Amino acid sequence: MAATTTTSGSPTDQGGEVSASFVVVANRLPVDRVQNPDGTVDWRTSPGGLVTALEPVMRANEGAWVGWHGAPDEVLDPFEEDGITIVPVPLSTDEVADYYEGFSNGTLWPLYHDVVAPPAFHRVWWDAYVRVNRRFAERAAQVSDQGATVWVQDYQLQLVPQMLRMMRPDLRIGFFLHIPFPPVELFQQLPWRREITEGLLGADLIGFQLPGAAQNFARLVRQRVSAEVRRDQITLGDGHVARARAYPISIDSRSFHELSRSEPVQQRARDIRRDLGEPKVMFLGVDRLDYTKGIKQRLRAFGELILEGRLDPDDVVFVQIATPSRERVEEYRHLRDEIDMLVGRINGDAGRIGRSPLVYLHSSFPREEMAAMYSAADVMVVTPLRDGMNLVAKEFVACRGADDGALVLSEFAGAAYELKQAYKINPYDINDIKATLELASHDAPNNKARRMRALRKQVFDNDIAKWADNFLTDLDQTVTG
């Protein structure tokens, strides 16, 4: 793929120092450490949208990945894992609390997701964010070859592009934001709005999930920075040009499809349906346990449909997987309690011996199990209040063996921009979710097939390799400096 044109060789490790011509900088490394019972240590690929997205690109490019390894107060040397050079950046316990749980997930995450929860603004969090961003920038500057391409990822590292450009003007710097970029009216709440805007403008290419987000950013720059903005091109006073464009992210569609079609996964899908009592309709939700994902809204809608007799608990089951996430952040602990209560109430009201309409699993699963769930389900329910993209929706589509199954999808997920033939819902409208769950479960097979055919074409024509290729090709064509 053209992505390889941006690289000129493999990373080298001389005396513990890495030197790479393609460098990804992200909050987390693409690996998690696991301690074996015999005391030895292994690294395992960690779950999450970002890792799922970038792993194939890294392998194809033989680059280096700069990021935190997940354990506070520990300094690690670079190492090789599965063809990727891993460059760990240390974080102290306080920095995890202030930079990661605090400013990234207590301030930026809710602010960028339309303030669906109130963002908290604390100056000590901001100070830690600046400090940690500088550390990432310094490490990236150390491991990058002359003229290397550096691709900075996501909201935790928005100051890195400018810091890096100051340290290493020879680098070609890309930035991609995986979450939404909010309208100016919301963004301007941020006390450090100028610093974040200037931080991003240090990149040569700033990628967003949707054109609307790129436009929000361009509008912000027009209003708040003395720069010349012409369409997606922003020219700063010092002559530096940054481009702001949309690159909707995707998945490794073929590998998901192949995995889901493998005999063990197909057998597992049959076992899942059998264990669920061979329901006529299996609904499925898969999310990180996050207040942006609209989990409460969808469960409430399903519960009401059962209680009103519009869905028969003898015929249907809803499996909700909620992967544990950010459990030390207060808002997330609270959400978990609320969902526990809601699940208990629905099953208490509508269940009977040997049959609970809702199966709620608060844990994370191997990829194979996820593929089996996607294959087993009839209706995938994706109802975020706001989501940058939502890879789960695309993974479900990729896992279908034929033009069957139905995708219920929130208008507020970035994925709705491309997956136009999904059964769309407004997640704020419980009646709309109810009516659409009913329709998706009972719709005529030819209607479902028509929709799914179009969705599959979209997901197979636009995969992760194409996403990376589009971004890196455009980045390659920018003029640095």
Whole-number minimum distance, CB 45 to ligand GDG, in Å? 9
| b/e code 225-257 from CB counts within 10 Å (16+ = b) | bebebeebebebeeebbbbbbbbbbbbbbeebb
Output 53 or 358, the one with its CB closest to ligand GDG. 53
Strands 233-235 and 241-246 turn out to be: antiparallel
Output 13 or 387, the one with its CB closest to ligand GDG. 387
Output 95 or 395, the one with its CB closest to ligand GDG. 395
Output 79 or 417, the one with its CB closest to ligand GDG. 417
How many residues make up the chain in this entry? 481
Max distance between CA atoms of the chain, in angstroms, equals 71
Residues that bind ligand GDG (CB under 6 A): 47-50, 52-53, 178-179, 249, 286, 288, 323, 364-367, 370, 387-392, 395, 414
Output 411 or 443, the one with its CB closest to ligand GDG. 411
Output 277 or 366, the one with its CB closest to ligand GDG. 366
Measured torsion, CA atoms of residues 436, 442, 444, 447, in degrees rounded to the nearest 10: 30
In the DSSP assignment, the letter for residue 108 is I
Whole-number minimum distance, CB 227 to ligand GDG, in Å? 27
Could you list the beta-strand ranges (E) of 294-378: 316-323, 358-361
Distance CA(3)–CA(472), nearest Å, equals 6
Whole-number minimum distance, CB 315 to ligand GDG, in Å? 27
Output 391 or 407, the one with its CB closest to ligand GDG. 391
Distance CA(204)–CA(444), nearest Å, equals 49
Per the structure block, which two tokens stand in for 346? 């629905």
With CA atoms as reference, report the closest residue to 201 among 171, 151, 238, 241: 241
Whole-number minimum distance, CB 363 to ligand GDG, in Å? 7
Whole-number minimum distance, CB 445 to ligand GDG, in Å? 27
Distance CA(419)–CA(345), nearest Å, equals 33
Residue of closest CB approach to ligand GDG? 49
DSSP helix/strand/coil, 72: coil
Whole-number minimum distance, CB 71 to ligand GDG, in Å? 21
Output 63 or 248, the one with its CB closest to ligand GDG. 248
DSSP helix/strand/coil, 209: coil
DSSP β-bridge partners for residue 381: 408
**CA dist 300 to 175, 291, 324, 426, 435, Å?**
38, 14, 20, 14, 13
Place of tokens 């702001």: 244
Per the structure block, which two tokens stand in for 434? 């109810």
Q: What is the CA radius of gyration of the chain?
A: 23
Whole-number minimum distance, CB 274 to ligand GDG, in Å? 22
Whole-number minimum distance, CB 205 to ligand GDG, in Å? 16
